[in-house]
């Protein structure tokens, strides 16, 4: 006999941007296959960019009322909207800067934009995840697309090696995450975030739950590349094609941080006292390693990998605080981080000598004489990354430290954290300043080509301007981040 289950058709309206992107991805595959081979990649690239922008508009049009759909597995709230906006901006801008690179590497394929769109879809699903399984699904969609992207230059050994390393370690981290999720399910009896929150209201917590959370945190820490789960980052950043590295540095980081925040605060928010130690450890280790290990790097992509590890450390510090103030600081931090990285990678993509892409720091020598505007923008971005006021990067750190210091009234340990943060940012400033020094004071061996391509110039200009004139943006950004953070409490 046939049993009809009493199910309501899910409310699709909350997920329109995601559904749209999914359909677009499949449609683009068709376009790519049937369009004339010579132009397919360019056409698909442009369409993908357009659809990301459309998805951005659709996200922005959502009103921010908390809606859960698909049997409570998918949630849209202000937090999700804020993070999705960041992710979509990051994806769109990195897509914008990648067309030329692949064209010049003779590796322009229409699958690239499709994979970027699918990865973005995965990130948006991560951000909206309201269930441990949904979380895992989003994570896998994103990760799988990223593995392929990392190995996209399949004829380059470095690229394939990066893809493979990322894949294997990613699988390991997924395993940990799943293991943790299964333990949490085993002890709490549900995978739904809301139900978990109801179960874990504090009080006596089963050790199984905590072990589960540690495993889940480890899996997520891998995605945000927090120490000691960061090991893949330098190798993959270095090996992957530069636009892919740029993509890695922004969109997935933002999405993973969003996921991290939501998982830690919504289902496990009641037992924050238990997991705070983990986050503090990850944060401190990341800040310190990010600062120290970058010093000896000569490859600028590798350096940016360590830089991103360090920055994730600061962001996690805000999560460790766990107040709405702290979360707001994280959101602002990620927004600023996004702009700094987009700008920096635009600069890195502009580093070419006689048509060949170069990525060693000494290659930047004498840039100020060859291309002063780019050198100045790069300098601004480096100062911003180092956290020099009045650039945006300073405010990112400032809000985080402010949130930490507000906690210091409760326990002096927070002050120690803030001090560690400030000290490691001092150490970190060294390698950013070194780049500035190389650009402005070292003698050029052989000058870099002038950057050609409007996209890179535009991105550099935008990022530089945002970081330099952060003040007018500070108010709206803080407000939006405050609203978004409030949605998690």
Partner 1 sequence: MMYVLIVFLPLLGAILAGFFSSVLKDRGSQIVTSGFLVVSALLSWVGFFDFMGGAEPLTVDLASWMQVGDFSVNWALRIDMLTQVMLVVVTSVSALVHIYSIGYMAHDPSIPRFFSYLSLFTFAMLMLVTADNLVQLYFGWEGVGLASYLLIGFWYEKPSAGAAAIKAFLVNRVGDFGFALGIFTLFFMLGTVNFDEIFAAMPGLVGKQFNFLGWQVDVITTASLLLFVGAMGKSAQIGLHTWLPDAMEGPTPVSALIHAATMVTAGVFMVARLSPVFEYSETALTVVTVIGAATAFFAATVGMVQNDIKRVIAYSTCSQLGYMFFALGVGAYPVAIFHLFTHAFFKALLFLGAGSVIHAVSDEQDLRKMGGLAPHIRQTWILMAIGSLALAGIFPFAGYFSKDAILEAAFASGSTAGVYAYWLGVAAAVMTAFYSMRLFMLAFHGRPRAPKEVMDHVHESPKVMLIPLYFLGAGAIASGFLFAGPMIGEAFREFWGPAIYIGEHNEVMEAMHNVPGYVKLLPLLAGIGGILIGWIMYGWKTDLPASLARTHQVLYQFLLNKWYFDEIYDFLIVRPILKLGRILWKQGDGRIIDGFGPDGVSALVVRLARRAAALQTGYLYHYAFAMLIGVAALITYFFYNLGL
Partner 2 sequence: MIIASLAFYLFAIMTVGSALMVIVARNPVHSVLFLILAFFSSAGLFVLLGAEFLAMILVIVYVGAVAVLFMFVVMMLDINFVELRQGFLEYMPIGALVAVILLVEIAMVAAAWHFAPEAPEAMAAPLATLGAGHNTEALGNLIYTKYLYLFQGAGVVLLIAMIGAIVLTHRRRPGVKRQDISEQVSRRRDQAVEMKRVEPGQGV
What residues line the site for partner 1 (CB under 8 A)? 165, 168-169, 172-173, 176, 207, 210-211, 214-215, 217-218, 222, 227-229, 231-232, 234-235, 274, 277-278, 281, 289, 292-297, 427, 430
Nearer to partner 1, 30 or 422 (CB): 422
CA atoms within 13 A on the CB side of 230: 28
How many other C-beta atoms are found inside a 10 Å radius of the C-beta of residue 234? 22
Question: Which residue among 30, 39, 60, 71 contacts partner 2 (CB under 8 A)?
Answer: 71
Q: What is the DSSP letter of 160?
A: H
Q: What angle do CA 160, 162, 168 make, to 5 degrees?
A: 100
Residue 187 touching partner 2 (CB under 8 A): yes
CA 255/CA 142 separation, integer angstroms:
10
Nearer to partner 1, 185 or 281 (CB): 281
Q: 5-64: which residues touch partner 2 (CB under 8 A)?
A: 5-7, 10, 22, 25-26, 29
CB of 165 to partner 1, least distance (A): 6
Residue 141 touching partner 2 (CB under 8 A): yes
* 314 to 208, 402, 425: CA distances (angstroms): 29, 12, 9
Residue 126 touching partner 2 (CB under 8 A): no
CA 113/CA 205 separation, integer angstroms:
45
Nearest CA to 95 out of 239, 233, 251 is that of: 251
CB of 276 to partner 1, least distance (A): 11
Nearer to partner 1, 313 or 396 (CB): 313
Q: Which among partner 2, partner 1, none contacts residue 122 (Cβ within 5 to 8 A by kind)?
A: partner 2
* DSSP per-residue letters across 291-312: HHHGGG--BHHHHHHHHHHHHH
Stretch that binds partner 2, among 145-153, 235-243, 292-300, 462-470 (CB under 8 A): 145-153
Q: For the range 206-210, what are the long-range contacts, defined as Cβ-Cβ under 8 Å and sequence gap of 24 or more?
A: 208/183, 208/184, 209/183, 209/184, 209/271, 210/271, 210/274, 210/275
**Residue found by looking up tokens 């954290």 in the block:** 417
Residue 175 touching partner 2 (CB under 8 A): no
Stretch that binds partner 2, among 193-201, 289-297, 303-311, 384-392 (CB under 8 A): 193-201
Residue 148 touching partner 2 (CB under 8 A): yes
CB of 193 to partner 1, least distance (A): 22
The full length of the chain comes to 489
Burial 79-94 (b: 16+ CB within 10 A, else e): bbbbbbbbbbbbbbbb
Give the three-class secondary structure for 129: strand
Nearer to partner 1, 23 or 171 (CB): 171
Query: Please, what sign has the CA dihedral across residues 30, 33, 35, 38?
Result: positive
Q: Which among partner 1, partner 2, none contacts residue 166 (Cβ within 5 to 8 A by kind)?
A: none
Q: Which among partner 2, partner 1, none contacts residue 229 (Cβ within 5 to 8 A by kind)?
A: partner 1
Residue 219 touching partner 2 (CB under 8 A): no
- Say if CB 286 and CB 316 are below 8 A apart: yes
CB of 392 to partner 1, least distance (A): 26
Nearest CA to 347 out of 334, 336, 361, 333 is that of: 361
Residue 281 touching partner 2 (CB under 8 A): no
Q: Which residues, other chains included, contact 425 with Cβ-Cβ below 8 Å and sequence gap of 6+?
A: 287, 291, 310, 314, 386, 387, 397
What's the longest Cα–Cα distance across the chain? 83
Stretch that binds partner 2, among 116-124, 257-265, 431-439, 450-458 (CB under 8 A): 116-124
CB of 66 to partner 2, least distance (A): 17
List interacting residues with partner 2 (CB under 8 A). Answer: 1-3, 5-7, 10, 22, 25-26, 29, 70-71, 73-74, 109, 111, 114-115, 118, 121-122, 125, 133-134, 137-138, 140-141, 144-145, 147-148, 151-152, 154, 160, 163, 183, 187-190, 192, 195, 198-200, 206-209, 211
């Amino acid at each position: 006999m046939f049993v009809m289950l009493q199910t309501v058709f899910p409310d699709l309206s909350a997920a329109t941007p995601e559904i749209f992107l999914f359909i677009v991805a499949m449609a683009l595959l068709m376009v790519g296959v049937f369009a004339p081979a010579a132009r397919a990649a360019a056409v698909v690239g442009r369409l993908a960019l357009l659809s990301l922008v459309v998805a951005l508009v659709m996200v922005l049009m959502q009103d921010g009322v908390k809606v859960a759909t698909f049997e409570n597995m998918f949630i849209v709230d202000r937090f999700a909207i804020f993070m999705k906006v960041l992710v979509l901006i990051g994806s769109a801008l990195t897509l914008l800067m990648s067309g030329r690179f692949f064209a010049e590497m003779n590796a322009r394929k229409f699958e690239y934009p499709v994979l970027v769109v699918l990865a973005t879809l995965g990130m948006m699903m991560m951000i909206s995840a309201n269930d441990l399984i949904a979380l895992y699904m989003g994570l896998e969609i994103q990760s799988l697309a990223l593995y392929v992207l990392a190995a996209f230059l399949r004829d380059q050994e470095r690229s394939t090696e990066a893809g493979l390393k990322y894949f294997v370690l990613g699988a390991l981290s997924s395993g940990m995450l799943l293991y943790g999720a299964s333990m949490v399910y085993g002890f709490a009896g549900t995978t739904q975030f809301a139900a978990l929150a109801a179960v874990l209201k504090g009080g006596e917590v089963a050790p199984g739950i905590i072990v589960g959370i540690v495993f889940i945190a480890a899996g997520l820490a891998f995605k945000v590349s927090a120490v000691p789960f960061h090991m893949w980052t330098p190798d993959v950043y270095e090996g992957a094609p530069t636009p892919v590295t740029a993509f890695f540095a922004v969109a997935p980081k933002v999405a993973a941080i969003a996921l991290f925040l939501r998982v830690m605060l919504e289902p496990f928010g009641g037992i924050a006292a238990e997991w705070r130690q983990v986050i503090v450890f990850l944060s401190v280790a990341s800040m310190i390693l990010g600062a120290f290990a970058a010093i000896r790097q000569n490859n600028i992509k590798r350096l940016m990998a360590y830089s991103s590890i360090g920055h994730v450390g600061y962001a996690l510090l805000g999560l460790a605080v766990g107040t709405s103030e702290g979360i707001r600081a994280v959101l602002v931090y990620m927004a600023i981080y996004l702009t700094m990285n987009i700008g920096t990678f635009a600069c890195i993509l502009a580093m070419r000598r006689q048509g060949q892409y170069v990525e060693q720091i000494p290659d930047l020598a004498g840039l100020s004489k060859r291309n002063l505007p780019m050198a100045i923008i790069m300098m601004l971005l480096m100062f911003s990354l180092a956290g020099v006021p009045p650039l945006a990067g300073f405010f990112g750190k400032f809000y985080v430290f402010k949130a930490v210091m507000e906690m210091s009234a409760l326990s002096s340990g927070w002050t120690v954290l803030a001090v560690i943060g400030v000290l490691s940012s001092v150490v970190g400033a060294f390698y950013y300043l070194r780049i500035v020094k190389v650009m402005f004071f070292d003698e050029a061996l052989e000058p870099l080509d002038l950057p050609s391509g409007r996209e890179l110039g535009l991105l550099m200009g935008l990022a530089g301007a945002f970081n330099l004139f952060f003040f007018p943006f500070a108010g709206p950004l803080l407000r939006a981040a405050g609203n978004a953070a409030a949605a998690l409490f």
